[in-house]
Amino acid sequence: MLGTRRHWSQILVIFLIRSRRLPWHANRPHTILIASSLGALGVGAVLALGPWGGLFGFTTTSMALMATIVVITAAYLAAAEAAKQVALQSPLNHRA
C-alpha cells in the first residue's frame, strides 16, 4: 500500500509544479495530463489492492502509519511549493 501512497504524492506534485501560481489558482490542467495521471494512479491502486497485491509484497497499513504518511505528504507538498517559489525568483529564471 505504501507504493500507492507514493504515487498519490508524486501526482500531486505534478499538479503543484505545473504552474507559477498556487495550484488552486492555476488554470485547469490539460485533459491528457489529468487522464494520464489518473491512469497511472489507477494501475498502481489495482496492483496494490487487487488480488495480485500479495505477489508484490503489499500489505495493509495501520491508522497511525496512515496519519504519519498524511503529515509527511503535506510537509513534502509544502516544501515542493516553497522550492518552486525560490526557483521562480532565481536570477537564472528571468528571461531577458
Domain count, the chain: 1
2 pLDDT exceeds 60?
no
How far apart are the C-alpha atoms of 58 and 40, rounded to whole Å? 17
Per the structure, the complete domain to which residue 43 belongs is given by: 2-93
Q: 10 Å Cβ neighbour count for 48? A: 19
Element (H, E) at 21: none
DSSP assignment of 26-67, as one string? Answer: SPPPPHHHHHHHHHHHHHHHHHHHSTTGGGGT-----HHHHH
pTM more than 0.85: no
Q: What is the pLDDT of residues 24-71, one digit of tens each?
A: 667 788 889 889 888 888 888 788 778 888 888 888 778 898 889 889
Query: Of 94 and 89, which is predicted with more confidence?
Result: 89
State the pLDDT at residue 1: 47
3 pLDDT exceeds 60?
no
